[in-house]
């Protein structure tokens, strides 16, 4: 912070506090408006994922450093370490899980903004360029607001031409929160912590040109990042390859700098070795790592970034003099259009790799090399190299032929937002002062429209008491809250089994959902009460869809069907509780009377909880 001028320091505080406030407001409204007797963790989007985070925090609150996956009953060694959730869990001992999650959003949003301004300061740009670039990086998006949907990834639009244009999919700025800064801040403190660490690493790499002063800081940041959000370590590696290309072009690559960068990257070795050990020994972790998270075709990626892409490339043209004024626009635009066309043809015709990826390793290597070449070509100044490298590599990184490829979208819009800020100033440079200021305001507003829709969606989900998952409520009813409290009073880590959730589609409104007909309580018992369950989360539970069906048959049959599957890994003496829906409250759910040995533990207006006598 000492490196910033007073004006930039003041702006960093203003932007950081503004981002933190907007990120926290929906969750704060959720927490403050939750009636007495109900339960909420203060989030609206992807509640099942947040209950996974809550489960890790809960284990830290129990005094555990090595964590286990409680969303399955499979045996496991319990070797997982996550420093982020361990730290948050210890804070939650004082503040509780909802307030701690809320506080993390605000703190890491603020830290992110300062890290962003400090890295931008290294470019040598003037204050106006830094301010506008930071603003667009934080709030910029694509044209998702034109095709907005509250749920799902598929375009629900009667216009055939639009559906064909978008390949039937929504732009990623509608649904992939981690690819954009504002939606990351709005949804998840973990994403903001990861983005902050990425910027710290990149700044350390830039500063390492001048000596060893920042190497330790960068190595520690990279090590923590590898532990808390390991996919980002691979993304950083790809971006640094792009920066290497830029350095070769500008003849600034030195042996000393290369050694110092490698020392920064070596910071991830302890976390990486532990990751490998867990992967080798923990079959549950292996199954989780093998969960398919394929990247979408390039079409929704392109339209999710299009506003920033266009302004960035036009800015290059306005900034360039002479006969080559439009050459870079043609090269950059041509590369994007070529990738767009190839992607459309590949996915439409089924011409993809045998494993279902867009490209295999040879194809990915070609795409990555092309992205590095574009970064080298566009980075006229070495100081902007990190941004051009990140910008061109990011849309390519998500096509690495591995199951986790979509997770490499972290912060994809960020470098394009920075470059769009520079581009917008270049486009408006010949305007008078008042027109230039108006143009900047309009540009930032249009680029931020999708972010406004994200904010609005959070409030709508809160109002309608339904998460984006469609089967989890934002707030648990008093009846369900009583059951959570009952399990908490039992203590230990008992097993709790509940029927999987049933969504409630809104009649005559395709793609819209009201509060779930039957809430899926399984992840709530795990995240809030420290229990274990048989099928609780789409990626944490191995073979989730099959086990979800088995769990449903087991409970609806009164414990007769699939009992050998559901209870296979229950050890002697373990307490097993089953939540039965009240027939009067949920008449559409067929239920047989429970005939196997049990005792009634708790009866509420909506549910009955029994304990199995095994």
For the stretch 30-64, pLDDT in tens is 999 999 999 999 999 999 999 999 999 999 999 99
Residues 241 and 372 in one domain: yes
Residues 201 and 103 in one domain: yes
Percent of the chain with pLDDT over 70: 98
135 within a domain of the structure (yes/no): yes
Last residue of a domain, one of 434, 457, 480: 457
In 3D, which of 33, 28, 16 has the Cα closest to residue 463? 33
Q: What is the reported pLDDT for 2?
A: 61
Q: How many domains does the chain have?
A: 2
Determine how β-strand 495-498 pairs with β-strand 576-581.
parallel
Residues 352 and 493 in one domain: no
Q: In what order do the strands lie in the sheet with 607-612?
A: 495-498, 576-581, 607-612, 598-603
Last residue of a domain, one of 413, 428, 457: 457
Q: What is the reported pLDDT for 344?
A: 87
> pLDDT tens-digit profile of 456-508?
999 999 999 999 999 999 999 999 999 999 999 998 899 999 999 999 999 98
**Which stretches of the chain drop beneath a pLDDT of 70?**
1-2, 157-161, 320-323, 325, 352-354
The torsion of the CA quartet 502, 508, 510, 511, rounded to 10 degrees, works out to -40
Residues 179 and 276 in one domain: yes
Residues 430 and 505 in one domain: no
Residues 485 and 453 in one domain: no
Residues 31 and 51 in one domain: yes
581 strand-pairing partners: 607
Token pair in block for residue 481: 């809250």
Residues 404 and 546 in one domain: no
Q: What is the reported pLDDT for 572?
A: 83
260 within a domain of the structure (yes/no): yes
Q: How far apart are the C-alpha atoms of 423 and 332, rounded to whole Å? A: 14
424 within a domain of the structure (yes/no): yes
Q: How far apart are the C-alpha atoms of 522 and 536, rounded to whole Å? A: 5
Domain that holds residue 107: 6-457
Residues 28 and 48 in one domain: yes
Residues 483 and 445 in one domain: no
Residues 452 and 513 in one domain: no
Q: How far apart are the C-alpha atoms of 91 and 68, rounded to whole Å? A: 20
CB 42 within 8 A of CB 98: yes
Q: What is the reported pLDDT for 1?
A: 57
324: phi then psi, degrees, rounded to nearest 5? -90, 15
Residues 450 and 542 in one domain: no
C-alpha distance from residue 552 to each of 558, 590, 603 (Å): 10, 11, 20
Last residue of a domain, one of 457, 479, 494: 457
In 3D, which of 65, 45, 62, 155 has the Cα closest to residue 105? 45
244 within a domain of the structure (yes/no): yes
463 within a domain of the structure (yes/no): no
């Amino acid at each position: 912070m000492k490196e910033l001028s007073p004006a930039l320091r003041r702006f960093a505080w203003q932007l950081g506090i503004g981002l933190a406030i907007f990120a926290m407001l929906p969750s704060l409204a959720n927490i403050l408006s939750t009636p007495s007797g109900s339960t909420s963790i203060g989030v609206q989007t992807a509640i099942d994922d947040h209950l996974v985070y809550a489960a890790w925090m809960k284990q830290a609150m129990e005094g555990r450093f090595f964590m286990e996956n409680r969303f399955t009953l499979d045996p496991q060694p319990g070797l997982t370490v996550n420093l982020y959730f361990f730290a948050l869990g210890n804070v939650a001992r004082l503040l509780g899980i909802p307030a701690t999650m809320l506080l993390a959003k605000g703190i890491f949003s603020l830290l992110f903004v300062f890290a962003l301004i400090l890295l931008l300061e290294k470019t040598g740009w003037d204050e106006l360029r830094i301010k506008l670039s930071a603003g667009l990086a934080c709030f910029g998006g694509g044209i998702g607001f034109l095709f907005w949907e509250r749920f799902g990834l598929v375009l629900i639009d009667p216009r055939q031409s639009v559906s064909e244009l978008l390949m039937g999919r929504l732009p990623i700025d509608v649904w992939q929160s981690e690819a954009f800064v504002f939606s990351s801040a709005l949804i998840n403190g973990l994403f903001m912590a990861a983005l902050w660490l990425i910027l710290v690493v990149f700044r350390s790499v830039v500063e390492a040109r001048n000596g060893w002063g920042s190497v330790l800081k960068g190595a520690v940041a990279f090590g923590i990042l590898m532990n808390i959000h390991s996919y980002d370590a691979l993304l950083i590696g790809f971006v640094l390859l792009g920066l290497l290309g830029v350095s070769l072009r500008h003849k600034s690559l030195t042996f000393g700098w290369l050694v110092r960068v490698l020392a920064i990257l070596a910071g991830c070795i302890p976390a990486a070795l532990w990751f490998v050990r867990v992967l080798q020994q923990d079959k549950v972790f292996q199954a989780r790592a093998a969960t398919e998270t394929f990247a979408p075709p390039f079409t929704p990626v392109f339209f999710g970034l299009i506003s920033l892409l266009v302004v960035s490339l036009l800015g290059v043209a306005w900034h360039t003099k002479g006969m080559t004024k439009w050459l870079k626009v043609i090269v950059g635009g041509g590369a994007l259009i070529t990738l767009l066309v190839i992607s459309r043809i590949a996915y439409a015709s089924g011409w993809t790799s045998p494993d279902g990826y867009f490209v295999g390793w040879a194809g990915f290597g070609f795409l990555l090399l092309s992205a590095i070449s574009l970064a080298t070509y566009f980075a006229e100044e070495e100081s902007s190299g990190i941004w051009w490298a990140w910008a061109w590599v990011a849309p390519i990184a998500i096509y690495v032929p591995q199951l986790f490829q979509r997770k490499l979208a972290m912060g994809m819009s960020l470098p394009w937002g920075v470059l769009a800020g520079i581009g917008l100033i270049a486009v408006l440079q010949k305007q008078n002062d008042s027109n230039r200021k108006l143009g900047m305001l309009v540009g930032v507003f249009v680029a931020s429209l999708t972010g406004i829709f994200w904010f609005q969606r959070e409030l709508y989900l809160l109002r309608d008491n339904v998460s984006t998952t469609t089967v989890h409520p934002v707030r648990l009813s008093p009846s369900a809250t009583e059951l959570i409290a009952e399990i908490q009073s039992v203590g230990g880590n008992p097993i709790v089994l509940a029927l999987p959730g049933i969504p409630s589609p809104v009649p005559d409104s395709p793609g819209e959902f009201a509060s779930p007909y039957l809430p899926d309580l399984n992840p709530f018992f795990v995240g809030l009460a420290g229990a274990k369950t048989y099928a609780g989360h789409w990626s944490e539970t191995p073979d989730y869809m099959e086990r979800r069906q088995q769990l449903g048959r087991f409970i609806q049959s009164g414990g007769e069907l699939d009992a050998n599957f559901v209870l296979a890994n229950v050890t002697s003496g373990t307490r097993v509780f089953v939540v039965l829906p009240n027939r009067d409250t949920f008449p559409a759910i067929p239920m047989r009377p429970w005939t196997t040995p049990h005792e009634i533990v708790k009866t509420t207006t909506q549910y009955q909880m029994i304990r199995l006598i095994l």
